[in-house]
Amino acid sequence: MKTPEEIHKMMSSIKGKNTKLELSVSKQLWHRGFRFRKNVKSLFGKPDIAIKKFKVVIFVDSCFWHGCKDHFKIPKKNPDYWLKKINRNIQRDQEVTDYYKGEKWNIIRIWEHDLKSNSAVIIEDIRNFLIDCKNKL
């Protein structure tokens, strides 16, 4: 069993950007010739990947932090805190999605489990989506 201090140290070291998942997606898109910005502070919700000229934002959502219905499990330690935090993340994700849809932007949300199980298919789907967005300009 970890002490509260060990848990605090471990949780504070978790990065909010440039996660392995985000880096995997961005690296594969870059190698396919797409140019983009990462973690764009000037855009609502600070998208993981953004291509402003195509009006595209991409969010890579981890199953834990974004409350995946299939994989999220409430931690046994301090469950009320975690449930409140994750539910707020889910609500914020919906607000961000609604905002971009309202602004007529193209939004992609990728779940961690989809990326881990079907990486090549997911990247190809994103590539096709980006080509469609480019052709609509």
Question: What domains lie within the chain, and their CATH numbers?
Answer: 16-135 (3.40.960.10)
Q: Specify burial of residue 115 (Cβ count, 10 A radius: 0-12, 13-18, 19+).
A: buried
pLDDT at 8: 67
CA 20 to each of CA 25, 28, 131: distance values in angstroms, whole numbers, following the listed order: 9, 12, 25
Nearest in space to 45 (alpha carbons), one of 101, 111, 95: 95
State the DSSP string of the chain: ---HHHHHHHHHT--SSS-HHHHHHHHHHHHTT---EES-TTSTT--SEEEGGGTEEEEEE-TTTTT-TTT----SSSHHHHHHHHHHHHHHHHHHHHHHHHTT-EEEEEEHHHHHHHHHHHHHHHHHHHHHHHHT-
Tens digit of pLDDT per residue, the chain (137 long)? Answer: 778 787 667 666 666 678 889 999 999 999 999 999 999 999 999 999 999 999 999 999 999 999 999 999 999 989 999 999 999 999 999 999 999 999 999 999 999 999 999 999 999 999 999 999 999 88
pLDDT at 96: 99
Q: For 2, list phi and psi in degrees, rounded to 5.
A: -85, 150
pLDDT at 16: 66
